[in-house]
Amino acid sequence: MTTYTTVIGLEVHVQLATASKLFSPAPAAALGEPNTRVHPIDLGLPGVLPRPNAAAIALAVRAALALGGDVQRLSRFARKNYFYPDLPKGYQISQYEEPVSRGGAVPLGDGRHCRLERIHIEEDAGKLTHSDLGTLVDLNRAGVPLVEIVTEPDLRTPADAHTMLESLREILRFAGVSDCDMELGSMRCDANISLMPVGSTKFGTKVELKNLNSLKMVQRALEYEERRQAAVLSAGGRILPETRGWNDEAGESRSQRSKESAPDYRYFPDPDLPPLVLDEAFVEAQRRALGELPAPRRERYRSVHGLPAYDADVLTRDRAIGDWFEAVVAEGIDAKTASNWVMSDVLPAQRERKTPLAEFPIAPPRLAELLRLLASKALTQVSARAVFRHMLAHAGSAADAMAALGLLRIADAPTLQPLVDAALQALPEAKAAVLAGKERALDSLKGHVMRACKGRADPAVVDALLRARLDALRGQKG
């Protein structure tokens, strides 16, 4: 039986996190009632012209830099012409022969990379909803800025594809380019897959997979397609160039359309838009805005902060997590302690609340205060967690929480002296035993004091006060 090498390439659409659309001032968040987030430009009304959004260009360049792409000093917008009810102008403004970036790569985490062919900027189309009333068109999404990231056919397994997308998502989130949420559609992936006999260098006929709405679906659909193609080829069959749609519930893909007769998009440079010329200063400004990417940050956490690899991975899942961690460390807290608390207390609480870390009720300096109290043994691990929970619910400082929880230590002599005296009076046998030289009897006296103040007394102070009284008694006898 022949065994096959799988060849996979991905086309990933990523929505750029801008306030407004690529070519219009309408808001880019495609929320709200249908057709309320539209400008005449998005509707393709007669006479409108596209107005390039500098913020979208900036984010596209940042994405390219984060992925190691060669940002083109001159690129061009082109029209991709086709008729579809969700495409208001009858063409999509995209980039064709002259994309904004060429090359680049996405690390797969084990030293291997998936090379990129290109990154180009384009506008999104609207959305169709099929209902009893017929097909409804919502143009809120029309004109939302996207970059399309096209890989080389470098991936060899469905798991590689999964890893590549995870890595890509991590980098783009870090770069502040996009939230890359596949379920919400801010990251979308089409996959091309073909099989060739092991040892061959000639790629087989590729099939395009669509409707892959999560990382898991990408992997499942590719695994299914890998098996399907292997079965067809092993049986002496031929793979047809086609687009197949993934049905996750059924766990299978179905042919959507043949690619034997590809549509003719009649691309040509958009005459409404001058060439996109990016000067060195603009590109450098984007490079500066990019900041530290996840891989170097992970390395820094290991080497500079001495964190284990696991900690470094968790803390670099998102730029905000690492930033939060570093803000705690900057307060003089030991890195491993800070890491432990961020991983096992802050992140679970944040996940539960479903709010961004920036809105977390405990700010890093407040957590640092709590950890300093813990380090000074003013709090036990257990009471420190109680304080943390209280701070989470009520905001405020650690001291406020301790006061509210009654956890403040009593260390001043005038407050404790009456309790010490009461203990000596209540336990005459113990007092006598100590005076007789039985040191261990001192513990029962201390215990009495502690019970009287619910354990809040500072043991050292209690010890000193007891000894002082007992010494005095010895002196009277002596």
CB of 50 to other proteins, least distance (A): 7
Site string (115-154) toward other proteins, x via CB under 8 A: --------------------x-x-----------------
CB of 82 to other proteins, least distance (A): 8
Which residues within the stretch 175-194 sit at the binding site for other proteins (CB under 8 A)?
none
Residue count at the site for other proteins (CB under 8 A)? 30
For residue 93, give the nearest of 275, 267, 240 by alpha carbon. Answer: 267
Which residues within the stretch 366-405 sit at the binding site for other proteins (CB under 8 A)?
none
3-class DSSP state for residue 115? strand
CB of 88 to other proteins, least distance (A): 6
Q: Which is nearer to other proteins, 38 or 209 (CB)?
A: 38
C-alpha distance from residue 451 to each of 90, 251, 404, 455 (Å): 82, 64, 20, 6
Provide the token pair at 323: 């930033």
Q: Which is nearer to other proteins, 45 or 184 (CB)?
A: 45
Site string (212-251) toward other proteins, x via CB under 8 A: ----------------------------------------
Dist CA 43 CA 139 (whole Å): 7
Contact 38, 76 (CB under 8 A): no
CB of 278 to other proteins, least distance (A): 15
3-class DSSP state for residue 53? coil
- C-alpha 317, offset from chain centre: 5
Dist CA 431 CA 436 (whole Å): 9
Q: Which is nearer to other proteins, 264 or 359 (CB)?
A: 264
Dist CA 355 CA 358 (whole Å): 8
Dist CA 397 CA 371 (whole Å): 12
Dist CA 157 CA 26 (whole Å): 41
CB of 388 to other proteins, least distance (A): 51
Site string (269-298) toward other proteins, x via CB under 8 A: -xxxxx------------------------
Site string (295-334) toward other proteins, x via CB under 8 A: ----------------------------------------
Regarding 266 and contact with other proteins (CB under 8 A), the answer is yes
Q: Which is nearer to other proteins, 266 or 394 (CB)?
A: 266
Regarding 428 and contact with other proteins (CB under 8 A), the answer is no
236: left (phi over 0), alpha (psi -120 to 50) or beta: left
Residue 347 neighbours by CB distance under 10 Å: 20
Q: Which residues pair with 207 in a beta bridge?
A: 193
Q: Which is nearer to other proteins, 78 or 420 (CB)?
A: 78
Of 88, 104, 107, 143, which one interacts with other proteins (CB under 8 A)? 88
Q: What backbone torsions phi and psi does residue 384 show, to the nearest 5 degrees?
A: -60, -40
Q: Which is nearer to other proteins, 221 or 276 (CB)?
A: 276
For residue 167, give the nearest of 100, 112, 103 by alpha carbon. Answer: 112
Q: Which is nearer to other proteins, 268 or 310 (CB)?
A: 268
Q: Which stretch binds other proteins (CB under 8 A): 84-92, 100-108, 225-233, 236-244?
A: 84-92
- C-alpha 326, offset from chain centre: 16
Which residues within the stretch 91-110 sit at the binding site for other proteins (CB under 8 A)?
91
Which residues within the stretch 26-55 sit at the binding site for other proteins (CB under 8 A)?
40, 43-52
CB of 279 to other proteins, least distance (A): 17
List the beta strands (DSSP E) in 100-251.
101-102, 105-107, 113-123, 127-131, 134-138, 145-151, 187-197, 207-212, 242-247
Provide the token pair at 146: 């996207």
Q: What backbone torsions phi and psi does residue 253 show, to the nearest 5 degrees?
A: -110, 155
CB of 265 to other proteins, least distance (A): 9
Contacting residues toward other proteins, per CB under 8 A: 40, 43-52, 79, 81, 83, 85, 88-91, 135, 137, 264, 266-268, 270-274
